[in-house]
Amino acid sequence: MRVGIGLGSNLGTRHGELASARIWLRCLAPGAKFSGVYETEAVNCPPGSPAFLNQVAEISWNGCLSKLLDLCQAFERSRGRKGVRGRNQPRALDLDLLYADEKKARTARLQLPHPRLGLRRFVMEPLAEICPRRRIPGLAGTVGETAGWLRSKGGESCRRIG
């Protein structure tokens, strides 16, 4: 199955954190596709939080999705992420499972598609680079159409930097 993963960093060497995550994901799933890197303001974060660098990946995964989540969370911890933290706190690395083909999941640990996926310009714009015609359950249109709709609404800054 094809799985979308959001990558984000707003602490430390942000570019370095995303580069480490790309290397790790390529080892986990050779053939992983990556968008460019976007810089976005920290929205709904504590005052003074640094801007985020965001990127998305799409990988092939044939295993259990909860196992993929475990692997992602273990990698986040290896990069300094604390196990317990407040919502929207700054972080060196954040990996979010976004979708897994047409699958839906609603557990205490995993919700697919990601419940706020279609509201996040910093996810939809980079995702539109690598799979603009993808349809994700719960979105009214394609990824490209949803990204265009979010762009037209304005909102938080989101600019491609690499």
How confident is the model over 72-105, as pLDDT tens digits? 999 999 998 776 556 667 889 999 999 999 999 8
| pLDDT at site 68 | 97
Beta bridge partners, 9, equal: 53
State the CATH number of the domain containing residue 38: 3.30.70.560
For 57, the enclosing helix (H) or strand (E) is: strand 52-60
- Confidence band (pLDDT; 50, 70, 90) for 6? very high
Question: Can you list the alpha helix ranges (DSSP code H) found in the chain?
Answer: 14-28, 65-78, 121-130, 143-153
| pLDDT at site 80 | 85
Count of positions (residues) in the chain: 162
122 near 45, Cβ under 8 Å?
no
- Please state the domain count of the chain: 1
| Its pTM surpasses 0.85 | yes
Judged against a pLDDT cut of 80, whether residue 155 lies above it is answered with: no
Mean pLDDT of the chain: 92
| pLDDT at site 83 | 63
Judged against a pLDDT cut of 70, whether residue 62 lies above it is answered with: yes
Residue 36 CA to residue 124 CA, distance in Å, equals: 12
| Other residues' Cβ atoms within 10 Å of the Cβ of residue 135 | 15
Residue 56 CA to residue 108 CA, distance in Å, equals: 23
Range of the domain at 149: 2-160
71 near 116, Cβ under 8 Å?
no
| pLDDT at site 27 | 97
